[in-house]
A and B are shown apart, each in its own frame.
Chain A
């Protein structure tokens, strides 16, 4: 065992385009259902890209009082709800945890962008000269983490990570390290993003990475690893994992979903937005080194798999570079084909899906894989989930604009692992 203090996942909660409970998410993912639809919101007629993966999340339905959520941006509302669900799912009594040995780690790419846009609308469009008193508290990037930490009276680290699309993989990795190195025993770690607001969508249109609408079936617009892929579909949501030091989880008899045995973060420095094989491979290699695991034992990779021309080919090559011939033995799927790209919540949602796959011994599919791309020639679990004897070791990749790549490695059982 490489590290003395081991870190396990004991529960999770989420808000996603495929449902707001773990059961709904699992049912939809393994049935290969898409949560991608036509965007519902203001300025629809002005959008060139009308495809989105929105979460069906009305805060009034989930919070007791309006005052519990009216001071939070949608990004914070979703994160707080996901965290409350995660605590319940882990059967964790927050009155019994040591509050200064507990931390909150949240990733978000664009923070309270709805509130930023609402503020500008008020000032520039409506010509008003004052903003709501809570505007700063709604816009600031650490607002979701603060809402969670305040709700549970947590006095340990309260940290926010913003590394674009890898934000929540980074938050989980950093939380894992803080537990491993003895700073804390429990973490609420995950991410959140709600960027489906007009100006924000326009900025994504401008960088020309968004998928074109599938004219026959809009729900099939995201086609990772398929030769006819045209880009990513923006999704929104939040997810939180409960991480615990192994003996802490065992002492309270918690159900353990998996151990996090490896985390690697590496910077893909060649270009701010164009991924490189070396950059992506470096994150995977660092995670493998951290775990001490023989790479041949990895059975499944939940890919970053955005559905852009660049990413999917680069990621395939990076996997080949790391795993050699074994790349053709393991499975690599992109569940973004179903839930879209949750940006700052992508890494955590995809990690949860990976753990659900471990529980069921089932590999989640890449749907809409209509035309095999010779440049993406690995087992991408096309269109239907695949059963597997025992899914014990899996990896989740998150890469990002800005360069921060992050890879997490999970092991299902907490017995000793074979190095």
Chain B
């Protein structure tokens, strides 16, 4: 957990790590506008991704996050949550 506010670039790079290393998704699939549904992760797999983000930035995603459609949406929501924590 970092003390300074994470930038969107840092969040993106953290997410890229999670997707490539823990979920074995190839990096060329990870463009920001890529819909999450095309990433070949089931709903439980995505729960694990959310858990890793929450743990990293000490934030809590809302219970329902169906409005997150693309990778960029995840980055934006994470960034908003990090900012609102300050």
A interface with B by C-beta (< 8 Å): 71, 128, 130, 132-134
**Given A132-B51, A133-B50, 11 other A-B residues pairs in contact with their CB atoms under 8 A:** A71-B44, A128-B55, A130-B51, A130-B54, A130-B55, A130-B60, A132-B48, A133-B47, A133-B48, A133-B51, A134-B48
Determine the distance from Cα of A71 to Cα of B48 in the docked complex, in whole angstroms.
10
Least CB distance from A127 to B in Å reads 11
Q: Is the interface of B mostly helix, strand, loop or mixed?
A: helix
Q: Which residue of A lies closest to B44 (CB)?
A: A133
Q: How far is the CB of B49 from chain A (nearest CB, A)?
A: 9
Complex interface: chain B residues within 8 A of A132 (CB)? 48, 51
Measured between beta carbons, the chain B residues less than 8 angstroms from A128 are: 55
Q: How far is the CA of A128 from the CA of B59 in the complex (A)?
A: 11
Query: In the docked arrangement, what's the CA distance between A133 and B51, Å?
Result: 7
CA distance A128 to B58 in the complex (A): 9
Interface residues of B (CB under 8 A from A): 44, 47-48, 50-51, 54-55, 60
| B55 contacts across to A, CB distance below 8 A | 128, 130
Beta-carbon contact of A134 and B44 below 8 Å: yes
Chain A residues with CB under 8 Å of B50's CB are: 133
The 9 closest A-B pairs by CB, nearest first: A133-B47, A133-B51, A133-B48, A130-B54, A132-B51, A133-B44, A130-B51, A130-B55, A134-B44
Q: Is the interface of A mostly helix, strand, loop or mixed?
A: loop
Chain A contacts of B54 at CB under 8 A? Answer: 130
11 example contacts (A-B, Cβ-Cβ < 8 A) are as follows A128-B55, A130-B51, A130-B54, A132-B48, A132-B51, A133-B44, A133-B47, A133-B48, A133-B51, A134-B44, A134-B48
Q: Which residue of B lies closest to A130 (CB)?
A: B54
Report B47 CB to chain A, min CB distance, Å: 4
The smallest C-beta distance from B83 to any residue of chain A, in angstroms, reads 20
Closest Cβ neighbor of A131 among chain B residues: B51
Residues of B within 8 A of A130 (CB): 51, 54-55, 60
Taking the closest CB of chain A, its distance from the CB of B77, in whole angstroms, is: 17
Kindly state the separation between the CA atoms of A128 and B44 in the bound complex, as whole angstroms.
21
Contacts of A71 in B (CB 8 A): 44
Q: Measured between alpha carbons, how far is A178 from B61 in the docked complex, in Å?
A: 47
Minimum distance in angstroms from B17 CB to a CB of chain A? 15
Interchain nearest-CB distance for A261 vs B (Å): 44
Residues of chain B with a CB closer than 8 A to A133's CB = 44, 47-48, 50-51
**Bound CA span A132–B54, Å:** 11
Residues of A within 8 A of B51 (CB): 130, 132-133
CA A285 to CA B55, docked complex, whole Å: 57
B44 / chain A contacts, CB cutoff of 8 Å: 71, 133-134
Bound-state CA distance A130–B50 (Å) is 11
Chain B hits for A134, CB < 8 A: 44, 48
How far, in whole Å, are A130 and B57 apart by their CA atoms in the complex? 13
B1 to chain A, nearest CB (A): 10
In whole angstroms, how far apart are the Cα atoms of A132 and B45 in the complex?
12
Bound-complex Cα distance A146 to B83 (A): 42
- Chain A residues with Cβ below 8 Å from B47 are 133
Cα separation A71 to B22 with both chains bound (whole Å)? 13
Which residue from chain A places its CB closest to the CB of B51 in the assembled complex? A133
Task: Report how far A130 CA is from B61 CA in the complex, Å.
Answer: 11
Per the bound structure, the CA–CA distance linking A133 and B48 in Å amounts to 6
B49 closest partner in A (C-beta): A133
CA distance A132 to B51 in the complex (A): 7
Q: Report B58 CB to chain A, min CB distance, Å.
A: 9
For the complex, what is the distance from the CA of A71 to the CA of B42, rounded to whole Å?
14
Closest to A129 in B: B60
